[in-house]
Amino acid sequence: MTWFTRQKPGVEGAGEGEKRIRTEGLWLKCESCGQIIWKKALDDNLQVCPQCEHHFRLDARARLAVLFDDTAYEEFDAGLTSTDPLHFSDSKPYTERLASMQEATSLSDALISASGKLEGRHLNICVMELKFIGGSMGAVVGEKITRAIERSIEQRVPLVIVSASGGARMQEGAISLMQLAKISAALMRLDEARIPYISVLTDPTTGGVTASFAMLGDLNIAEPGALIGFAGPRVIEQTIRQKLPEGFQRSEFLLEHGFLDAVVKRAEMKHYIAQSLSFFCD
């Protein structure tokens, strides 16, 4: 596998101080089981803990590389950027926040729209990038998804959307909320054209994304242990004045209560999608 850069461990003969510097960041502690894991072992295992199978978050590029055959895909609408329609400013101006995010992630916004083959079948895949302003959905994310849906209708190929998002983008206010309706309406047209859409929910999928396209798939499948919900647990507890049950808003709990169709391990996700599409299309 070639989609992760790897640091080399300290070489023989290096001084103590140098050794320490070179081994920094090579190990990390699993946030679930507490096991110390060699970072390379995690990279080789699709960012899943070899000990307890805890699924660490995966960025959008790595996700696309896992799903597409030979890690090859064509990207669409990569140049779309937000125009800051509200001239919004919080702790810093939105335009500045966008610019620093674009530099940090090398993406124009919080989603990559791509097309390629998955186990030999042509399809469109959109993947959200959590590192870009919390994977929030603004006008650009809405437009990119809508265009991907329209391409799917035009070319009659299935669509997969991999969500990882904190919800609507605060800095775009009502314009951000309008994306829920825009994408949902486009998905309706996809449904009428009888083209399958699989929604893959990863940790975390919340807010307006859960309230719209993430839950509108012909299949809604999630990775193990993903946080999926609308409002966060603290807000709900304060509203209903009750303690929430153990594991509330995690994939397994949602599957048990009928909100999801399946919980699928990362290593099996590609084949699961391929099998599902064979079922839908062939």
Cβ atoms of 163 and 137 within 8 Å: the answer is no
CB of 35 to Zn ion, least distance (A): 5
Give min distance, CB of 44 to Zn ion, in A: 15
CA distances from 120 to 71, 171, 193, 197, 274 (A): 12, 40, 22, 17, 9
CB nearer to Zn ion: give 47 or 202.
47
Q: Which of residues 159-188 bind Zn ion (CB under 5 A)?
A: none
Rounded to the nearest angstrom, the gap between the alpha carbon of residue 196 and the centroid of all alpha carbons in its chain is: 19
Q: Which stretch binds Zn ion (CB under 5 A): 28-36, 151-159, 263-271, 274-282?
A: 28-36
Contact characters 235-254, Zn ion, x per CB under 5 A:
--------------------
Q: How far is CA 281 from CA 151, 163, 214, in A?
A: 17, 23, 21
Residue 51 or 102: the one with the smaller Cβ distance to Zn ion is 51
User: Which pair of tokens denotes residue 274?
Assistant: 């391929």
Least distance in Å: CB of 29 to Zn ion? 9
Element (H or E) spanning 150, and its range? helix 139-155
For Zn ion, the binding residues in 35-94 under the rule CB under 5 A are 35, 49, 51-52, 54
52 vs 86 by CB, closer to Zn ion:
52
Among 28, 30, 157, 231, binds Zn ion (CB under 5 A): 30
DSSP string, 213-257: GGG-SSEEEE-TT-BB-SS-HHHHHHHHTSPPPTTTTBHHHHHHT
**Residue 32 binds Zn ion (CB under 5 A):** yes
How far apart, in whole angstroms, are the C-alpha atoms of residue 222 and residue 202? 6
- Residue ranges in contact with Zn ion by CB under 5 A: 30, 32-33, 35, 49, 51-52, 54
